[in-house]
Amino acid sequence: MALIPLPLDDAALAFDPHWLAPDEADALRQALHVRIAWEVHSIRLFGREVASPRLSCWIGDPGTAYRYSGVVFEPRPWPAALQPVRERLAQALGGDFNSVLANRYRDGRDAMGWHSDDEPELGPAPVIASLSLGATRRFALKHRQRPEQRLTLDLPNGSLLVMSGPTQRCYRHALPRTARPVGERLNLTFRRLQPR
């Protein structure tokens, strides 16, 4: 199946719910579960340091340190299991990604609050390729100026969501908590950091 454009004003979104076959997605999730150095990142929220409600790891080429919420994250080396995915994404999207943020949501209590991937080192119109592995979770976007303009999307195992163009400038996105029982999910957001 190919990436399907999603209609949303002031955004460029494309989605493939089956970008990886289920057995490929399961094998990749299992490999990354043990090969990534998962940690709890501290972030600055309303002037104080708090622990993120998920496990994370910043991975990238040398020289791709990433500043987020007042903290600089030095990249960990690429796990071998991610190289084929990185190459496939480069072919599919016509550009190489030099970094990826891996997030591990252990259950429905782990979440990601409203934010945009709009740090200066990502450039004015970044391409963010988001690969989901494991349990299906609901993803939400809302317009910065017109919050009633929203989109919610279930992201199943092996799905790929690509956000590009003005999406980060015009929208915030989130992975909300859920009270329903849900298994573990890994999310890989591939990016290209610009040289400083």
> Which neighbouring-strand residues pair with 139?
153
DSSP 119-147: -GGG-SS--EEEEEEES-EEEEEEESS-T
- CA dist., res. 127 & res. 7, Å (int): 17
DSSP 3-state assignment of 16?
A: strand
Say whether pTM exceeds 0.75: yes
Q: What is the pLDDT of residues 44-73, one digit of tens each?
A: 666 777 777 899 999 999 999 987 767 788
In the chain, where the domains are located: 4-191
Is 68 exposed, middle or buried (CB count within 10 Å of its CB: 0-12, 13-18, 19+)? middle
Q: What is the pLDDT of residues 177-193, one digit of tens each?
A: 999 999 999 999 999 99
Which architecture, in CATH terms, is 4-191?
Sandwich (2.60)
